[in-house]
Amino acid sequence: MSREKDIYEVIYDIVRLIPKGRVSSYGAIAAAIGMKSGARLVGYAMNHSHDALPYVPAHRVVNRNGLLTGKHHFGSEDAMQKLLEQEGIKVENDGVVDFEKIFWNPSEEISL
DNA sequence: CAAGTGACTACAG
DNA sequence: ACTGTAGCCACTT
């Protein structure tokens, strides 16, 4: 347990910064923190996000295709889709509708 | 120190 | 178009 902020915590912060009604991709977040090829790390971090506090809206994070690849980790396969729909995001065939339109780029927010 | 893991991404067949 | 394999990074044991 390092006193320093682990990369995971940084990822959690990014995910928490995702505004309601928007979604982001693992690769985008990874690139935002400087690991443009560390998409897997983001996914791995999300897996631990269940212990992260405050709550991490991991349901707003999808793969590059906009597919709810991590829905299985929410306990119920419909849980993630349900959460997204509650935020006004339409989900169809396990994929976010208009993903490119509601896509939130963390790099732009972080650079600010 | 080395090997294993994972909610990804890209390229090849 | 779809399936399979490889590369990638940081953390854990």
Kindly report, residue by residue over A63-84, the tens digit of the pLDDT. Answer: 999 999 999 999 898 999 999 9
Q: Is residue A111 part of a domain?
A: no
Q: Which residues of A76-91 are buried (b: 16+ CB within 10 A; e: fewer)?
A: eeeebbebbeebebeb
Q: Is residue A44 part of a domain?
A: yes
Residues of chain A with pLDDT under 70: 1-4
pLDDT at A51: 87
Nucleotides of C under 7 A from a protein CB: 7-11
pLDDT at A63: 95
Q: Is residue A2 part of a domain?
A: no
Q: Is residue A20 part of a domain?
A: yes
Output the domain CATH number for residue A30.
1.10.10.10
Range of the domain at A16: 7-104
How many domains does chain A divide into?
Answer: 1
pLDDT at A108: 92
Q: Is residue A110 part of a domain?
A: no
Give the closest nucleotide to A15 (alpha carbon vs C1'): B7
Q: Is residue A54 part of a domain?
A: yes
pLDDT at A96: 96
Q: Which of A60, A112, A64 is nearest to A91 (CA)?
A: A60
Work out if A6's Cβ lies within 7 angstroms of strand C.
yes
Q: Is residue A98 part of a domain?
A: yes
pTM higher than 0.85:
yes
